[in-house]
Structure 1
Amino acid sequence: MKLLVIEDEKELSDSICVYLNSEQFACEAAYDYPTALEKVVINEYACIILDITLPRGSGLDILKELKTFNKSDGVLIISAKNSLDDRITGLNTGADDYLTKPFHLAELGARVAAIVRRKSFDGNTRVSVGPLTLDLSDRVLKSGEQPIALTKKEYELLLYFLSNKNRVVTKEAIVEHLWGDDIDMSDSYDFIYSHIKNLRKKLMNAGCNDYIKAVYGMGYKFSLD
């Protein structure tokens, strides 16, 4: 699932992105207020990691813009400011959580995962996929106790479909959510068909119905009904 890291310290931002990419997320980065604002207005993210103090603007204004545009992206504030007022202001403005610098990347990852679960899966750590179970903590799809081997992109694709179950998602939305800023590197959507075909085959071989339906001229729908 796609995340946005808004942090002006490039070294810290890069470290966060590398870690979260290893945790099955796709990260984009913004290092200043104008770039961040453009991204949050145009795109949707499972979670935004947001520094309050930014070049040419404030992270709190980003929160206000999210509210203005009725965006439902999760937000985790990270800031060196360790005052109660900043924390309360951020949470009251719409942030889901607050983490003070310095922090361990593992804690950041755990808090991001918790926000994603609350936003997309009602806080559950396990999600049913027909007769199968997707364990969000271990990031493993299981049939009983038997894990089903998925590639990183197949896992991300399944997670994205489940967070949008019974809704049509376009090919463009799938690419953007799974590849983020790398979307321009692709000349076609052939790789989407390949990933969907492989995921569909693995689910059906594990005893699932064919949940992934192509919607002509629009995209795909993951229907558990």
Structure 2
Amino acid sequence: MKILVIEDEPQLLSNVKESLEKEKFLVETASDYHEAIDKLFIYEYDCILLDIMLPNGNGLQILSQLKAEEKSENVIIISAKDSLDDKLKGLELGADDYLTKPFHLAELNARVKAVLRRQKLNGKNTLQIANATLDLRERTFIVNNQKISLNRKEFDILNYFSLNLNRLITKSALAEHVWGDHSDNADNFDFVYYQIKNLRKKLQSANADIEIESVYGIGYKLIKK
């Protein structure tokens, strides 16, 4: 899998590249608008990490050009700009995800892997794990052909876990992904714990062959029984 990281902060660019290479990705970089454009329209990438603020241009301009060429899939915006307008504009232009600086490299890696897993769905709207099925379009959850009622947060949590099956998800990463950019600054993560607790009860009652495992002091992972 080949990834292009478009970022003008040298230290962050180096750290992201090193972290992704440890995960066995092939990583190329660009540090300004013109270099990014040159690479994007010559080479093919499985995922693009795109900063909004760049020398000589900005990431939204790049995203617009990618969309015009039908190449805007698998783009994760990484930016210090915490503007809702920028975030919505990026998603409207085809970005798959948005990560606000500063962020943990482990969280970035998880987001990249989730985007790549969605790519592997090949346009399908369902995720099947053991005897459980998530319908991403209808936002329904079925176990053994029985529909299980989930609230919006429970569905989002289970969806995120399913895209990262068997991978550790930190509490802060889960909070940011499901509840928003600033939730990882909360005094505690009781709101995460209560949703996980209720979701576990529903999985158990439905005899689902998946379960949410706690990793003490760090977070959770979804595993098959």
Residue 65 of structure 1 aligns to a residue in which SS?
helix
In the TM superposition, residue 77 of structure 1 has moved relative to its aligned partner by: 0.1
Q: How far apart, in 2, do the equivalents of 1:10 and 1:40 lie?
A: 20
Kindly provide the amino acid, as one letter, of the partner of residue 9 in structure 1: E
Structure 1 residues 65-123: Cα deviation after superposition (integer angstroms, max 9, x where no partner)? 11111225410000101121111111111100000000000000000100011113458
1:5 aligns to what?
Answer: 5
Kindly provide the amino acid, as one letter, of the partner of residue 9 in structure 2: E
Q: How far apart, in 1, do the equivalents of 2:43 and 2:73 lie?
A: 10
Identity of aligned residues (%): 54
Alpha carbons of 1:136 and 1:114: their partners in 2 closer, same or farther (altered >3 Å)?
A: closer
2:38 aligns to what?
Answer: 38
Q: How far apart, in 2, do the equivalents of 1:51 and 1:125 lie?
A: 33
Query: Could you tell me whether the CA contact under 8 Å between 2:72 and 2:94 is conserved in 1?
Result: no
Q: How far apart, in 2, do the equivalents of 1:60 and 1:17 lie?
A: 22
Kindly provide the amino acid, as one letter, of the partner of residue 78 in structure 1: I
Q: How far apart, in 2, do the equivalents of 1:50 and 1:104 lie?
A: 16
TM norm structure 1: 0.54
Kindly provide the amino acid, as one letter, of the partner of residue 96 in structure 2: D
Query: Could you tell me whether the CA contact under 8 Å between 1:48 and 1:74 is conserved in 2?
Result: yes
TM norm structure 2: 0.54
Q: How far apart, in 1, do the equivalents of 2:96 and 2:72 lie?
A: 11
Task: Give RMSD over aligned pairs.
Answer: 2.2
Q: How far apart, in 1, do the equivalents of 2:29 and 2:128 lie?
A: 27
Query: Could you tell me whether the CA contact under 8 Å between 2:73 and 2:96 is conserved in 1?
Result: no
Residue 27 of structure 2 aligns to a residue in which SS?
strand
1:111 aligns to what?
Answer: 111
Alpha carbons of 1:41 and 1:83: their partners in 2 closer, same or farther (altered >3 Å)?
A: same
Instruction: Name structure 2 gaps, 5 residues minimum.
Output: 130-162, 168-225
Kindly provide the amino acid, as one letter, of the partner of residue 95 in structure 2: A
Q: How far apart, in 1, do the equivalents of 2:69 and 2:36 lie?
A: 15
Query: Could you tell me whether the CA contact under 8 Å between 1:118 and 1:124 is conserved in 2?
Result: no
Kindly provide the amino acid, as one letter, of the partner of residue 79 in structure 2: S
1:53 aligns to what?
Answer: 53
In the TM superposition, residue 10 of structure 1 has moved relative to its aligned partner by: 1.1
Q: Which runs of 4+ in 1 moved over 6 A?
A: none
Residue 88 of structure 2 aligns to a residue in which SS?
helix
Kindly provide the amino acid, as one letter, of the partner of residue 97 in structure 1: D
Q: Which has the higher contact order (CA 8 A, sep 6+)?
A: 1
Kindly provide the amino acid, as one letter, of the partner of residue 54 in structure 1: L
Instruction: Name structure 1 gaps, 5 residues minimum.
Output: 127-134, 140-225
Q: How far apart, in 2, do the equivalents of 1:23 and 1:125 lie?
A: 25
Q: How far apart, in 1, do the equivalents of 2:128 and 2:33 lie?
A: 34
Structure 1 residues 21-54: Cα deviation after superposition (integer angstroms, max 9, x where no partner)? 1112110000000000111111111110000000
Alpha carbons of 1:103 and 1:136: their partners in 2 closer, same or farther (altered >3 Å)?
A: closer
Alpha carbons of 1:116 and 1:56: their partners in 2 closer, same or farther (altered >3 Å)?
A: same
Q: How far apart, in 2, do the equivalents of 1:112 and 1:125 lie?
A: 20
